Amino acid sequence: MLRAFLLLPLLGALLVAVFPSRRPEIIRRAALAVSAASLLFALTLVFLFDPALAGQQFFETRPWNPRVGSSFSLGVDGISLPMVVLAALLCFVAMLVSTTISSSAKFYFSLLLVLETAMFGVFMARDWSLFYVFWELTLIPLFFLIDRMGGANRHRAALNFVLYTLGGSVFMLVALLLLYDAAPGHSFAMADMAQGGRGLPPATQLLIFAGLFIGFGVKMPVFPLHGWLPLAHVEAPSPISILLSGVLLKMGSYGLIRASETLPGAMLAVQDWLAALALVSLVYGSVLAWRQTDLKRMVAYSSVAHMGVVLLGIATLNVTGLGGAVFQMTAHGLAAALLFLLVGALYQRTHTRELGEIGGLIGRAPRLTFLLSLALLSAAGLPGGAGFIAELHVLVGGFDRWGGWVAVLSLGVVISAAYALRVTGRLCLGGTPHADPLPDLNRAEYAAASALALGIVVVGVYPAPLLALSAASVREIARLFGG
């Protein structure tokens, strides 16, 4: 079942590839239909999923390369399922708002569908070699999408992005091989490797963990490894920014959770350092986001800060904090996607992303204004938005572990409120109005944006179902650390 789900977008990509390239609208419709089908499939999975069970569900495996012990195994649990749904939703949204692509639609939509398959693969793989393959597979479509369709500095951004990620994943590969070598089973299956990894001496675990952390830390990104992010986010076309920040970043934190499952000894040893790194990322990202006048760049840096919250939640290693981290992954996925969508729409209309050059939106584009304010405020952790629930969980979990140190998180929240309110104030309420006519969001954009906004509010006001979805799996992980 998961196999069909995984291959659906790939088949869609093949289908799109054979369409005549003169008819971009048909290609777009076809791609949209495929991603809508994937989204429905993902929602069906949610209905069939039993949140009471901690283990993998819909698990299927078949040998892939028996000589080295790799297998093609797929499965979802309470941590990966929200990510799968998020990926499906954001892919659909990204295709829905890609209305201006016409010249190279075939190229664009087929790559987007390949990317969707790769993202599903990362979240559903139950074998580290398969995970690695899909991890690398995301790079190829993204490189071409940024390099061909991006902004002025697109070549540099694409190269930078791929080099950073490849550099990180080399470390990850080495670490995985080390683990494969050190663990007794000689199998790449996640369950086997986890069993082997838990038995390793702490020093070996630490070494392996360091490699994995560099790989995942680049993707997340964590403070000194985030150099690719502002460039790539700013230069990528806005549907790609939606996916980059909404889903691709979560791959890093998702991998980190899987790594902590595999190497609990190392995780316990570096717990405090991870928290320190998380707090630095948080404040660093918030301050830089506050500093930017380019809206897209601001959202990009705010992603660094929000992923800092995720890292802090993971580092707590207790049920509350981990639950908050998993929740924040969804919450930030929705909020960042909404922000990039709206900023992209704004850029399309005004051809500028400079905060100083746009203003007075409220009378001219009320839908855009309302949704933008909502997205900014919920990203800043306003109660009623999804981010608040996540931050609260992480705060409570972190307080159990480190006491007053988590006040730094509040500092980050205060700074994020400062830039959120500044943007709301200048862009929506005051400021110098942009000279050109400014049409409001069109129907496709409005539908996509309000779906995301609705998601943020619903999850924020009634978080219980989403928390319950991942509760069992989170408890299972926390049990490893006695939390």
CB 471 → another protein: shortest distance, Å? Answer: 29
Please state, in angstroms and rounded to a whole number, the distance separating the CA atoms of residues 375 and 340.
10
CB 391 → another protein: shortest distance, Å? Answer: 20
The alpha-helical segments, DSSP class H, found in 351-441 are 366-379, 386-402, 407-423
CB 31 → another protein: shortest distance, Å? Answer: 33
182 or 421, CB closer to another protein?
421
CB 355 → another protein: shortest distance, Å? Answer: 4
357 or 400, CB closer to another protein?
357
23 or 291, CB closer to another protein?
291
CB 364 → another protein: shortest distance, Å? Answer: 16
Two tokens, residue 307: 């992923």
Which residues is 227 bridged to in the sheet?
A: none
CB 356 → another protein: shortest distance, Å? Answer: 5
Render 136-171 in DSSP notation, one character per residue. Answer: HHHHHHHHHHHHHH--TTHHHHHHHHHHHHHHHHHH
230 or 483, CB closer to another protein?
230
Q: Quick one: which of 335, 311, 345, 436 has its CA closest to 385?
A: 335
192 HSE (CA, 13 A, CB side): 19
CB 362 → another protein: shortest distance, Å? Answer: 13
Q: Considering Cα of 164, then 260, then 247, then 415, what sign does the dihedral take?
A: negative
CB 208 → another protein: shortest distance, Å? Answer: 26
Residues 290 and 419: beta-carbon distance below 8 Å: yes
CB 283 → another protein: shortest distance, Å? Answer: 9
21 or 293, CB closer to another protein?
293
Alpha-carbon radius of gyration of the chain: 21
Residue type (1 letter), 66: P
CB 29 → another protein: shortest distance, Å? Answer: 37
Is-cis flag, bond preceding 201, omega within 30? no
57 or 424, CB closer to another protein?
424
Render 269-302 in DSSP notation, one character per residue. Answer: HHHHHHHHHHHHHHHHHHHHHHH--BHHHHHHHH
Please state, in angstroms and rounded to a whole number, the distance separating the CA atoms of residues 483 and 480.
8
Q: Quick one: which of 264, 275, 246 has its CA closest to 406?
A: 275
92 or 301, CB closer to another protein?
301
65 or 293, CB closer to another protein?
293
151 or 198, CB closer to another protein?
151
Dihedral Cα 243, 244, 245, 248, nearest 10 deg: 90
Query: What is the separation, in whole angstroms, between the first and last Cα of the chain?
Result: 34
90 or 283, CB closer to another protein?
283
Binding stretches for another protein (CB under 8 A): 156, 160, 226-227, 230-231, 284, 287-288, 290-293, 355-356, 359, 415, 418, 422, 425-426, 429-432
Please state, in angstroms and rounded to a whole number, the distance separating the CA atoms of residues 345 and 369.
12
Hey, how many other C-beta atoms are within 10 angstroms of the C-beta on 62?
Answer: 9
